[in-house]
């Protein structure tokens, strides 16, 4: 594994930006708190990124959103809240105990009707879904990032927005062997994003989760 080291001033700046600009609600705080209380890893997206996901849902006019990797539902709450009436989020989670916490958070946020949690390995549940999705957020096991991107194409349409979390991973592309578990999968996904199927960029971020970033793409 790779060390995700955050400089104190990155964390302080993120906190200031979160309070002053992002302004999360009690339902976001609840999702964060529940993850800590239930002993889940603190690997949800930063508040600034959660807000970005919600803005992307709105800007793209997405009605059907697919998420790979639910955890406690923090990023799901950001996206589901941004959906129009009649919109829906399908979120895929391997661990039943994570799915359970996420469902509680969706209920507390009044989002039960708008979100379906599909429990199981995503590569097993993805073939059961029907497209087209308007926006796909990928944030699960990095080994399968490239496979999830291929599913995003299969379940998407030209113009589908794709966001891939953890696309920089402390600069892993400079030497993927620094993280034998996750490095090769992340770099393979980046190469796929640079190929003919997508129009893409990668934004680097520094914050509470260290030096990382996300890829933003559309399906061609």
* Binding-site ranges for ligand DHB (CB under 6 A): 43, 139, 165-166, 209
Residue 75 Cα to chain centre, angstroms: 6
CB of 140 to ligand DHB, least distance (A): 7
The first and second tokens of residue 214, run together, are 């996300």
Does residue 45 bind ligand SAH (CB under 6 A)? yes
Nearest residue (CB) to ligand DHB, 71 versus 115:
71
CB of 139 to ligand SAH, least distance (A): 4
**Helices vs strands, H then E, count in the chain:** 8, 7
Strand pairing class (135-138; 88-93): unpaired
Neighbouring C-alpha atoms within 13 Å toward the C-beta of 54: 20
**Beta-carbon contacts of residue 52 (< 8 Å; ≥ 6 apart):** none
What is the secondary structure of 108-147 as a DSSP string? HTT-GGGEEEEES-HHHHGGG-----SEEEE-S-GGGHHH
Q: Which of 14, 139, 188, 212 binds ligand SAH (CB under 6 A)?
A: 139
The first and second tokens of residue 93, run together, are 């989670």
Per partner kind, with CB cut-offs from 5 to 8 A, the member of ligand SAH, Mg ion, ligand DHB, none near residue 24 is none
Q: Which of 74, 133, 151, 169 binds ligand SAH (CB under 6 A)?
A: 74
Strand pairing class (198-207; 88-93): unpaired
Q: Which of 56, 80, 89, 122 binds ligand SAH (CB under 6 A)?
A: 122
Cβ(214)–Cβ(203) below 8 Å: yes
CB of 166 to ligand DHB, least distance (A): 5
Binding mask 181-200 toward ligand SAH (x if CB under 6 A, else -) reads: --------------------
- Tell me the three state secondary structure of residue 116: strand
Q: Which of 2, 43, 129, 218 binds ligand SAH (CB under 6 A)?
A: 43
Q: Which of 141, 150, 170, 199 binds ligand SAH (CB under 6 A)?
A: 141
Does residue 165 bind Mg ion (CB under 5 A)? yes
The first and second tokens of residue 146, run together, are 């490239």
- Report the chain's C-alpha Rg in angstroms: 16
Q: Which of 6, 11, 13, 95 binds ligand SAH (CB under 6 A)?
A: 95
Does residue 14 bind ligand SAH (CB under 6 A)? no
The first and second tokens of residue 74, run together, are 């923090």
CB of 220 to ligand SAH, least distance (A): 25
Per partner kind, with CB cut-offs from 5 to 8 A, the member of Mg ion, ligand DHB, ligand SAH, none near residue 94 is ligand SAH
- Tell me the three state secondary structure of residue 25: coil
């Amino acid at each position: 594994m790779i060390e995700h080291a955050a400089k104190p001033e990155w964390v302080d700046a993120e906190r200031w930006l979160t309070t002053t600009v992002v302004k999360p609600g009690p339902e976001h705080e609840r999702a964060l708190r529940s993850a800590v209380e239930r002993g889940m890893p603190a690997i949800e997206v930063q508040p600034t990124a959660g807000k970005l996901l919600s803005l992307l849902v709105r800007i793209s006019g997405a009605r059907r959103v697919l998420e790979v990797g639910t955890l406690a539902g923090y990023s799901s709450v950001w996206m589901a809240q941004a959906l129009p009436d009649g919109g829906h989020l399908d979120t895929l989670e391997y661990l039943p105990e994570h799915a359970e916490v996420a469902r509680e958070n969706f209920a507390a946020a009044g989002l039960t009707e708008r979100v379906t949690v599909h429990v199981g390995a995503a590569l097993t549940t993805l073939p059961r879904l029907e497209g087209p999705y308007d926006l796909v957020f990928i944030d699960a096991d990095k080994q399968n990032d490239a496979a999830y991107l291929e599913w995003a194409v299969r379940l998407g349409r030209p113009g589908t927005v794709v966001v891939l979390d953890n696309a920089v991973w402390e600069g892993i592309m400079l030497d993927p062997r620094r993280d034998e578990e996750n490095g090769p999968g992340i770099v393979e996904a980046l190469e796929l994003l640079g190929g003919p199927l997508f129009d893409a960029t990668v934004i680097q971020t520094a914050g509470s989760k260290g030096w990382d970033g996300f890829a933003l793409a559309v399906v061609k």
